[in-house]
Chain A
Amino acid sequence: MEEIYSGLLRALELIAARDPQVVEITFRSFFISLSSAFLAGIICIPLGGIIELHQFWGKRALINLIQTFYSLPTVTVGLLVFLLISRSGPLGDLNLLFSPAGMIFGQAVLVSPIMIGLTITALAGVSSPIRDTARSLGATDMQIIITVIKEARVAVMAAVLLGFGRALSEVGVAMMIGGNIRGYTRVLTTAIALETSMGNLELSMALGIILISISLAINLLLNRFQGR
């Protein structure tokens, strides 16, 4: 107990002193996960729009499948992306393995189901009179989708934020695709895993506190969004 307490104090000291390693890892985590949320957003939001606004055979099943993928274990996504981008994989030529770009790609894949699913839910909340009004005023199908996304912007932003949160807090993809290379692909979660296993509890706890704080901040932001 004593040990945890003094470790916690020293962890806080590390944060307060803006320990270079802590700062660097935090920023990298932010950068990679924000990028992956952004990348996933620009693909998944329009895709969610297209799925939501069209009627087609198997739509219900597709949405169910997407929702099943919400809780896909991150290591399985890691494995899938690994197979895709490893030397012999179809995207092997891009040299994405063990690079931040590969992590961004992998995390984007990981959060895509959530983002598509939550976008669909968000857009379903836009009333049909709004769609009829857009159509009646001469909007094309694509313009209607854009209008509906704009109408649901708060909920769509929440979907992106949730995706960011999931990317930031996952370990599987970051470890398997990034490889936890110091100063290059080491992020909060992989650093915590490593430092804990090496007995560097103070550094682990410092990083853990930061991770929890960010998650908390995201949740507060989400609540503020949804409270409106």
Chain B
Amino acid sequence: MALLEISSLGKSIGKAEILQGINLKAERGEILGLIGPTGSGKTTLLRLVNLLDEPSSGSILFDGREVSGRPERELLAARRRMAMVFQKPVMFKASVEENVSYGLRMRGRVDAMGGRERIKEALAAVGLSGYESRDANTLSGGETQRIALARALILQPDLLLLDEPTANLDPGSAASIDSLLRNLAGSRTAVILATHNMQQCRKLARRVAVLQEGRLVAMGKSEEITLPW
């Protein structure tokens, strides 16, 4: 069974239909590309999956359970098995270390799981070793994005949602993040990678879903997809 199974999902804000009739599956160990032009609804879809917003229609099955429209307690339990890196990540007014360990602390797991070691590993994974005591709000855009990724990776989520994770990075750091993500393929994590960048999709994702004006217009192997625009 797929880890995530979305069916006829829709989202309206006021009169505007932002998403319509979305059907999508994501399996553990796969990176699913979500590609679409600006304003096509990628961020909106990821937020629905992360259970931050409520869909207007349709269903979200996470690990076999319906999670949409459930009480906050159940949403929280599901959310705690996911992690999302926002398109424009923000940092808490605290050190990098406190930012990276935030999710673990909220789960009350920071000491039990060898917090320090894991923070170190997570920072090393994104190429920012030794940044622990830096004030997180003095980081550059690219550093912020990488810390946001470390903050998500440290949680070892079952489902990782990435919204343009390399948009603020130079080609070199983008490439190193790409190879980090490639290592997640074949693990127990399912990754959904939203991007404008077809090249990145081809490099990382086996399957690609194409979003246009709030609808999924194509879905297939990344080599076979040609973009309709």
**Nearest CB in chain A: distance from B211 CB, A:** 21
Distance to closest chain A CB from B183 (angstroms): 22
- Asked if A136 is at the interface of the complex by the 8 Å CB criterion, the answer is yes
Interface size on A, residues (CB 8 A): 18
Interface of A is mostly: helix
Given known A141-B72, A143-B106, contact A136–B84 (CB-CB < 8 A): yes
Q: Which residue of A lies closest to B50 (CB)?
A: A136
- Answer yes or no: B167 CB below 8 A from chain A CBs: no
B72 surroundings in chain A (CB, below 8 A)? 141
| 24 contacting pairs across A/B (C-beta < 8 A) | A129-B88, A129-B90, A130-B92, A132-B47, A133-B86, A133-B89, A133-B92, A136-B52, A136-B79, A136-B83, A136-B84, A137-B83, A137-B102, A137-B106, A137-B151, A137-B152, A137-B155, A138-B76, A138-B79, A138-B106, A138-B107, A139-B106, A140-B106, A150-B93
**Distance to closest chain A CB from B60 (angstroms):** 15
Q: Is B206 an interface residue (CB 8 A)?
A: no
- Between A and B, how many residue pairs show CB distances below 8 Å? 52
Contact for B103 among A127, A129, A137, A141, CB less than 8 A: A137
Contacts of B88 in A (CB 8 A): 129
Is A135 part of the contact surface with B, judged by Cβ < 8 Å?
yes
Least Cβ–Cβ distance between A9 and chain B, in angstroms: 49
Interface residues of A in 186-213 (CB under 8 A from B): none
| Inter-chain contacts of B90 with A (CB < 8 A) | 127, 129-130, 133
Interfacial chain A residues near B84, Cβ < 8 Å: 136
How long is the Cα–Cα vector from A16 to B66 in the complex, in angstroms?
A: 74
Q: A132-B47, A137-B155, A138-B155 are in contact. List 16 more A-B contacts (CB 8 A).
A: A129-B88, A133-B86, A133-B89, A133-B90, A133-B92, A136-B83, A136-B86, A138-B79, A138-B103, A139-B102, A140-B76, A141-B72, A143-B106, A150-B93, A151-B93, A153-B93
